[in-house]
Structure 1
Amino acid sequence: MLKFIGIGSAFNTKWGNTSAFIKKNNGLFLFDCGGTVFHRLQELSIFDGVKNLYIVITHTHPDHVGSLGEVIFYCYYILGCKPTVFFPNRELIENFFACIGVSKDMYVLDSREKSGVIDKDFGDVSIEFLSVTHVETIPAYGFIMKQKTGAFYYSGDANNISQEVLTRFRNGEFDQVYQDTCGLDYEGNSHMSLRKLEEIISIEFRDKVNCMHLDNHIHPKEVIDKGFNVVEIFRG
């Protein structure tokens, strides 16, 4: 299971920017890196002992990349390592890094839609990006990550779950779903409302759906009462 540094939407600051990680020995996978994330990584001593860092980015909104530059700088100057950044739009992320002063010698970029690593701590890990519907101004992606301990789908910010993802989930290709979920429910919403999630996910699969990126208009009890899970904030 993923451990979450924060579980809130962009405006739900009390729960921090949604970001998760998996740490094993000297290896660390980090999923998104919003403005509050670097501070929490330091506060929780998550960087301790890290020699190999892999960062998966779903899209470039500030609550998902706001402290990405700080993380890369810290790795380069303090930890003495170059993180590998996974993001399928090379031009966009390279331009972003250039704008914030992160030079190309500070990181390794993997912009393939299907990629992965062989890591001494994690073993063979594959990452498959899938386009999701979020906003029209920038591309956004979810991804499926597979490792020897299991597989999961992570939506990033998305107002829907594609039929392909649903079919692969029902067929058992991955065993957990982490889904952006909100209380607000209106036409054109860029996030997945709880009502819509209820319509999409039948009751027998809900215990494998973990709601994250919660807004100010939803209470965890509402989510749990519908049969879904709510991710918890890792406290160390």
Structure 2
Amino acid sequence: MKELQFLGIGSAFNTELGNTSAFIKEGKSLLLIDCGGTIFHRLKELNMFSGVKDISVIITHTHPDHAGSLGEVIFYAYYILNIKAKIYFPNEKFIKTFFGTVGVSDEMYIMNGKSNISIEIDNIGMVGLQFVESNHVETLPSFGFIMKLDGKNIYYSGDTNNVNPLIVEKLENGELDIVYHDTSGLDFEKYSHTSFRKIKEAFRKELREKVYCMHLDEHISKQEIINSGFNVVRRYNKV
């Protein structure tokens, strides 16, 4: 089974764990979810671009820890690998404005702004994407998404300040197999991330083995998460 692996699992300020970004690499294809400021360096460090002829990048929002090195990935693909990265984000006008501020021109990438799409990626296969708006900050459009991959239905929250009741319902009903969720040790009114208290309140104990906590800040320990029956995503290290 093809599954998501993580280049980093931390929040913006948790430099020890790196920016949260997931990936699948199969053959000549690389699929990325988010591309924060530390991610291009990690991709180079791990030699992830070796042999790659197809790069697809799903973006949840454009905060620096999620899109800070997206421009570098596009430049590297265009100038060094001689390919155009494919970018998936359901607000095409907004992200094109973002690209304009970092010098990425239209001819350097292929854009898809649909909120519901099926993608065929060589070596990876069909990937279904259904974007879901998230409550993160008022200043940026932010999204999570449901991904259909290799016979599994996966929810990836991106950054959000709550647990979407629809996602809980889908997990309860067996419509989702795995949930990857933004998780914070901080808990105060109008915070932009999901507190661990909210995570525990949303998912009953019988479902917690299907929930993977990510985007961890320095205010929560992996052991605390595991002791409550949840999983913690692992940071990929090349063998």
Query: Which string of whole-angstrom CA distances, capped at 9 and with x for unpartnered residues, describes residues 147-196 of structure 1?
Result: 22422110000111222222222222221111000101111111011111
Q: TM-score w.r.t. structure 2 length? A: 0.96
Q: For 1:125 and 1:4, locate their aligned partners in 2 and report how far apart those are by CA, in whole Å.
A: 18
Q: TM-score w.r.t. structure 1 length? A: 0.98
Q: For 2:75 and 2:151, locate their aligned partners in 1 and report how far apart those are by CA, in whole Å.
A: 31
Q: For 1:34 and 1:73, locate their aligned partners in 2 and report how far apart those are by CA, in whole Å.
A: 15
Give the 5 Å matches for 1:1-236.
1-236=3-238
Q: Which amino acid aligns with 1:207?
A: E
Residue 222 of structure 1 and its aligned partner are, at CA, apart by 0.4
Q: Which amino acid aligns with 2:148?
A: K
Q: Which amino acid aligns with 2:68?
A: G
Residue 119 of structure 1 and its aligned partner are, at CA, apart by 2.3
Query: Which string of whole-angstrom CA distances, capped at 9 and with x for unpartnered residues, describes residues 64-123 of structure 1?
Result: 000000000000111111111000011110001111110111111110000121223122
Query: Which string of whole-angstrom CA distances, capped at 9 and with x for unpartnered residues, describes residues 109-144 of structure 1?
Result: 110000121223122211110001111111110001
Count of aligned positions: 236
Taking only aligned residues, the RMSD between alpha carbons, in angstroms, comes to 0.9
Q: Which amino acid aligns with 1:211?
A: C
Q: For 1:40 and 1:169, locate their aligned partners in 2 and report how far apart those are by CA, in whole Å.
A: 32
Identify which range, 160-169 or 199-208, moves more after superposition: 160-169
Indicate if the aligned counterparts of 1:17 and 1:64 stay in contact, CA closer than 8 A: yes
Residue 41 of structure 1 and its aligned partner are, at CA, apart by 0.3
Indicate if the aligned counterparts of 2:163 and 2:198 stay in contact, CA closer than 8 A: no
Q: Secondary structure at the match of 1:13?
A: coil
Identify which range, 202-211 or 113-122, moves more after superposition: 113-122
Q: For 2:94 and 2:86, locate their aligned partners in 1 and report how far apart those are by CA, in whole Å.
A: 16
Gaps of 5+ in 1: none
Q: Which amino acid aligns with 1:83?
A: A
Q: For 1:92 and 1:183, locate their aligned partners in 2 and report how far apart those are by CA, in whole Å.
A: 31
Q: Secondary structure at the match of 1:95?
A: helix
Identity %: 53
Q: Which amino acid aligns with 1:178?
A: Y
Q: Secondary structure at the match of 2:78?
A: helix
Q: For 2:230 and 2:141, locate their aligned partners in 1 and report how far apart those are by CA, in whole Å.
A: 28
Q: For 2:180 and 2:165, locate their aligned partners in 1 and report how far apart those are by CA, in whole Å.
A: 16
